[in-house]
Amino acid sequence: MNIISIEFAIASIAAVLIYYLINQKFRIGFLAILSCAFIASFNYLLLPYVLLYSLINYYIGLKLPDSKNKVLLYRTGIIFNVLQLVLLRYSSFAIDPFLHLLNSDFQVSKLSEIIVPIGISYFSLQGIGYIISVNMGWEKPEKKFLDFLLYISFFPKFLSGPVERSNHFLPQIKENLTFDESRVSLGLKIALIGFLKKIAIANQMAPFVLNSFSDLGSADGSSLIILLLLLPMYLYFDFSGYTDIAIGFAKMFGIDLLPNFNRPFFAENVTTFWKRFHISLAAWFGNYIYRQIIFKRRKWGVYSSTMFAVFITWMLFGIWHGAGWNFMLLGLLQALAINYEFFTRKFRYRLFSRWPRFLKVWFGRIFTYLFYGASLVFFFSPDIHSTVAFFSGLSAIDSSIILVILRNIPLSAIVLALLFFALELLEEDYNKLFNKLKYFWSDGWKFSRLFRWSIYSFILAMLFVLGNQAQQFIYAQF
């Protein structure tokens, strides 16, 4: 089922009403059935696979604490999770070429054409995180399979996260909730903002971005510069749009998903950027990969262990995004930047200490944005040759650049994107003014309610007009 559809919105709202009408003891089962139906709507073979995957991880987690062969069982759990991910996501890059060298025509990647592993990169991390947490004694194993199945398959987050933690998600679904109008209303508003980001901004930018990468040879230098500047915005509004929809609908069911974005383009360096962008994924890698490596390599000393841990973590982060050298280079670039920032902190502090604060802050923000934009060329390019062609085709900025923008991107999308960034700027740098705006928005003015409903109505009308432009979420491919 397409999330960006009237059918999905109506079905989800109807599900919320039924959820609060039925008895508490049936609610988890109800959400599990909804989630299974959602998964089956993409591929009917994916559902039994997710059920089997959940059952295996549930069983391993249940037996881990009291197992006589705890180490073996733990390693079996990790190997199972990694192996199924490799077989279904990376076989075309890591396994098929090796079999070809052996003169074998067998293609392991055909498995992914049969099962269509949508969401596998997300629920695999959740499964691995759960096994590690139970093994380390950070949490107790889940006793009820239906609860664990919902943790893996909960439909709002299934396609593109956030990457949930079991000790954050599972306790929430056990609470006996009553219908809370304000909570449901807030969830609807958050989801509405997500639909606006996706449909009215990201989908309007998509044709220019995707068409450019499908035919880089015909793109001129000005178009490539615009593309470089546009990539972070496009991905942000596409991905944060999905996240808002997921968080909004989950909130209506009484579940608070982990946050994924916190005004990332106002970060002043790459290290801080990754604490604000795709937060749940970066935090997962930080907790389960980076910290574990630092601990195991602590005898190397702070600097050596940190450098090694950063490179391994971010290389895996890049590989998580896909099978290909482009994604490995994407991770390598982040590792180089973060290591550079770690090892040059004192030098950079002395260098910029005499700069005016405003200049220093905005220099960091602009540089970080441009660095991320350049990194995304590796993300969007189909191969290394396309990446080289992109950077080779860049030219100096000329007067035609404004015409390129207006010719390829609807003015409404540009205005809305700038409006979102203006609000984020106020929240980031001018908090008092932002709070005053919030006060006027929420009944601080006699026409507040009329103004709010006028805005909501305008958004709904815009979504209705633009909603027929179907475009998959970028991160749904993972």
Least confident of 44-58, 96-110, 463-477: 463-477
Confidence at 473, pLDDT banded by 50, 70, 90: low
pLDDT at position 463, please? 85
Question: Would the CA dihedral through 79, 81, 85, 88 be positive or negative?
Answer: positive
Average pLDDT for residues 433-458, to the nearest whole number?
84
Contact residues for 110 (Cβ-Cβ < 8 A; gap 6+): none
Q: Which two tokens stand for residue 230?
A: 């546009």
Average pLDDT for residues 38-63, to the nearest whole number?
94
Q: Report how far residue 333's alpha carbon sits from residue 328's, in angstroms, rounded to the nearest whole number.
A: 9
pLDDT at position 452, please? 86
Q: Is the pLDDT of residue 22 over 60?
A: yes
Q: For residue 259, is the peptide bond before it cis, meaning its omega torsion is within 30 degrees of 0?
A: no
**pLDDT tens-digit series, residues 182-195:** 999 999 999 999 99
Q: Which residues of 131-155 are buried (b: 16+ CB within 10 A; e: fewer)?
A: bbbbbeeebebbeeebbbbbbbbbb
**pLDDT tens-digit series, residues 401-414:** 667 676 778 888 99
Average pLDDT for residues 418-429, to the nearest whole number?
95
Question: Would the CA dihedral through 249, 255, 259, 260 be positive or negative?
Answer: negative
**pLDDT tens-digit series, residues 120-156:** 999 999 999 999 999 999 999 999 999 999 999 999 9
Helix (H, G, I), strand (E, B), or coil: what is residue 403?
Answer: helix
Confidence at 223, pLDDT banded by 50, 70, 90: confident
% residues pLDDT > 70 (the chain): 95
**pLDDT tens-digit series, residues 343-381:** 998 888 888 888 999 999 999 999 999 999 999 999 999
pLDDT at position 404, please? 67
Which whole-number Å values give the CA distances from 7 to 2, 14, 30, in the listed order?
Answer: 8, 10, 19
pLDDT at position 470, please? 57
**pLDDT tens-digit series, residues 293-316:** 998 888 888 888 899 999 999 999
pLDDT at position 474, please? 63
Q: What's 90's DSSP letter? A: I
**pLDDT tens-digit series, residues 102-127:** 777 777 777 777 777 888 999 999 99
Contact residues for 327 (Cβ-Cβ < 8 A; gap 6+): 318, 319, 321, 378, 379
| Mean confidence (pLDDT) of the chain | 89
**pLDDT tens-digit series, residues 67-114:** 889 999 999 999 999 999 988 888 777 777 777 777 777 777 777 777
How far from chain centre, in Å, is Cα 265? 15
Confidence at 478, pLDDT banded by 50, 70, 90: low
Looking up tokens 């929430």, which residue turns up? 172
Q: What does the DSSP assignment read for 426-456?
A: HHHH-HHHHHHHHHHHTTSSTTHHHHHHHHH
Q: List the beta bridge partners of residue 175.
A: none
Q: Report the candidate in 230, 158, 216 with the shortest Cα–Cα distance to residue 475.
A: 158
Confidence at 469, pLDDT banded by 50, 70, 90: low
Q: Which two tokens stand for residue 191?
A: 């989801």
Number of residues written out for the chain: 478
The CA-to-CA distance between both ends of the chain, in Å, stands at 17
Q: What's 344's DSSP letter? A: T
pTM of the complete model: 0.93
pLDDT at position 392, please? 85
Contact residues for 274 (Cβ-Cβ < 8 A; gap 6+): 282, 334, 338
Q: Report how far residue 393's alpha carbon sits from residue 387's, in angstroms, rounded to the nearest whole number.
A: 10
Tell me the range of 63-67, 103-107, 223-227 where mean pLDDT is highest.
Answer: 63-67
